[in-house]
Every structure is written in structure tokens, then in C-alpha cells.
Amino acid sequence: MDYSLVHITLLTYIRSVSYTVQSDLCDVLQKIVRSLDRPEFNSNVDTLDAYIATINTKINPTGFRVAKHRAQVSGDVFYVFVNTVSDEITKVNTNYSVPEIDAIKRIIDDLIDQSDLSFSLGYVNSSQRIGQTLNKTSRESNVLLSRLVDDGWFDVTEEDRVTLSIRSICELKHYLIDKYGVFDGEDVSQQSGGKLFVCRQCKELVTQGEKCVDAKCPISFHYKCLDFYKRSNDVKCPNYDVCGYVWSDQHDGSEDETKNENENGIPSIPWTPPTRIGVANPLRI
């Protein structure tokens, strides 16, 4: 496919919104092609992906890419405009001054350091963090925080919790893993233990989902990924031999429910729900 005015217009749209859900982008593509080229054109995911592939071939040498990324809660596919040259937060945020980027880093530090695994920070605390870092008034801090939210770097839940957005997780994934590490079952208070979780099913970061109840077990899933895993697998934790956790209170019928011990002779304990990662009421994207 030749790079055309349709591609340029589509790319301009994606850049202007930073990220967009697949169904919306399909509609946008259809409108663009109908107005510029073929009035009868109907778009679908395949035609959209063909246009995106051509755009990526064109913009790759400039260090950018339109990436596909699944939203953690809804599971919907999003298209995100990302910088591929560097995962350094400094380079991707060219719209911000160096001190402002420092403030962003401190908010991310605070989000990830939460001992309750909420990966979130209260809006007021986030604004205060900006104020402390940049020596700004609370009004100025609020202005910058709302700009960061508008630019898609953070989301704000209905309960005023600031969380990492789909854009920041997609674009900063490697930066975050390099800086904070992935939890591998070691003591989280130790630097080496890692603070992030990677979904067992899709291998993407989990800042909204569930983890194994066993504090030392690193197995975690996004909600939809766990549903998928449970449909196609045993409900035992993939790390069951070590943690002994079962991911569901639903018996599959193959076990004798009157038995008080499992096949290893370990007494069965009442089922407890997995540990939540993220906020209680996340945005439904």
C-alpha cells in the first residue's frame, strides 16, 4: 500500500489523541477514506491494520510507532502513538521541562511504591508531590497535574486516585521494568525483589488485576486474562507446587469435595480470593 493522504490524515488523528480504541479508529478510517478517496469504503480491523502497518513502515525511521495494546480492565484493543527510540521518560516527554519530568517521575515512584499494591496515589497527594518537587503553589501544581492527565500520562478514577494510563504503561514499559524490576517472589522491601507484576497470560504489566494470595508467589493476571486462563486450564495456580493456591472457589467436579486434604496430603484451607492489584474501582477502559 502506498503512503497516501489517507495515511497522513489517520496518523495526524492518532497523534492528536495519543491513544484510541480500535472500534473508534475503524470509524475514523472509514470517514477519512470516504471523504478523500472512495465514498463506498467500509473499514474493518484488517483494513485498519493494513493502514497502520504502512504508517509504521513510514514513521519507524523517525523513532515512532503506532502500537497495539490491550486495556487492562476492559481487554479492548487500543492503538497508542509511542516513541521507540528511547524508553527514557526524559526523551518521550518533549512537551515538558526537565523539572516537570522530575515531578512526573516522583509521582510514578509514589504510585509504584504503594505497599497495598494499589498502584495509585490520591489526587491531592499527587498535586502536593508536584508542589514539593517544583516549589509551586497548589494552584500551579493542579494545573500541571490536569495537563498530565489531559495529555494521557495519568488517569484519574472516580474516587480521585491517580493511576498509570494505557499510554504511560505502553510507552514506558521498558523504562518501568528497568527502574523498578519485576517481582520474583523475593522480599518486596529488598531492591532486588522487583515491584512490578507481569501477567502470566499476556506477559504485559499488571497495575490492575489480581495476584496469587501467597505473598511470595509472583503469579498475577489481568481480570480478563485470568478468566481466559481459567477456561483453558486447571484453576490451580501455575506455581501450585510451591504456593498451593487454587484460583477459584468453583470445584470442577473431579475432586471429592468431602476430602479434607489434597493429593499431597496437605490439609485443604478455606478458599480466599486472590489479592487485588490496583484500585478498587478502576476506569472501565
Is 237 a binding residue for Zn ion by CB under 5 A? The answer is yes
- Least distance from C-beta 268 to Zn ion, angstroms? 15
CB 256 to Zn ion: min, Å: 23
CB of 277 to Zn ion, least distance (A): 11
b/e code 179-208 from CB counts within 10 Å (16+ = b): bbeebebeeeeeeebbbbbbbbbbebbbbb
Beta strands in 84-192 (DSSP E): 120-122, 154-156, 161-164
What is residue 284's three-state secondary structure? Answer: coil
Binding string, 244-273, against Zn ion, x = CB under 5 A?
A: -x----------------------------
Scanning 82-90, 111-119, 172-180, 234-242 for contacts with Zn ion by CB under 5 A, the matching segment is 234-242
Considering only 59, 164, 222, 279, the residue that binds Zn ion (CB under 5 A) is 222
Distance CA 226, CA 233 (A): 10
Toward Zn ion, which CB reaches closer, 66 or 217? 217
CA dihedral (9, 24, 155, 65) positive or negative: negative
Comparison of 29 and 277: residue with beta carbon closer to Zn ion: 277
Given the C-alpha cell 471523504, which residue does it identify?
A: 35
- Residue 19 sits at φ, ψ, to 5 deg, of -150, 150
Q: How far apart are CA 212 and CA 26, in angstroms?
A: 37
Size of the site for Zn ion (CB under 5 A): 13
In this complex, which beta carbon is closest to Zn ion, that of residue 56 or of residue 239? Answer: 239
Task: Verify binding: residue 205, Zn ion, rule CB under 5 A.
Answer: no
For Zn ion, the binding residue among 219, 226, 246, 277 (CB under 5 A) is 219
Please choose, out of 75-83, 95-103, 160-168, 231-239, the segment that lies near Zn ion by the rule CB under 5 A. Answer: 231-239
Contact between 278 and 119 under an 8 Å Cβ cutoff? The reply is yes
Residue 252 CB neighbours (<10 A) = 9
User: In this structure, are strands 154-156 and 161-164 parallel, antiparallel, or unpaired?
Assistant: antiparallel
Cβ proximity to Zn ion: between 16 and 232 the closer is 232
Answer whether 156's CB lies under 8 Å from 171's CB: no
Q: Which of 21, 182, 202, 235 is close enough to bind Zn ion by CB under 5 A?
A: 202
Report the nearest approach of Zn ion to the CB of residue 259 (Å): 21
Stretch of residues binding Zn ion (CB under 5 A), selected from 29-37, 58-66, 90-98, 236-244: 236-244
**C-alpha–C-alpha distance, residues 205 and 36, integer Å:** 39
Which C-beta is closer to Zn ion: that of 165 or that of 201? Answer: 201
List contacts with Zn ion (CB under 5 A): 199, 201-202, 212, 214, 217, 219, 222, 225, 237, 239, 243, 245
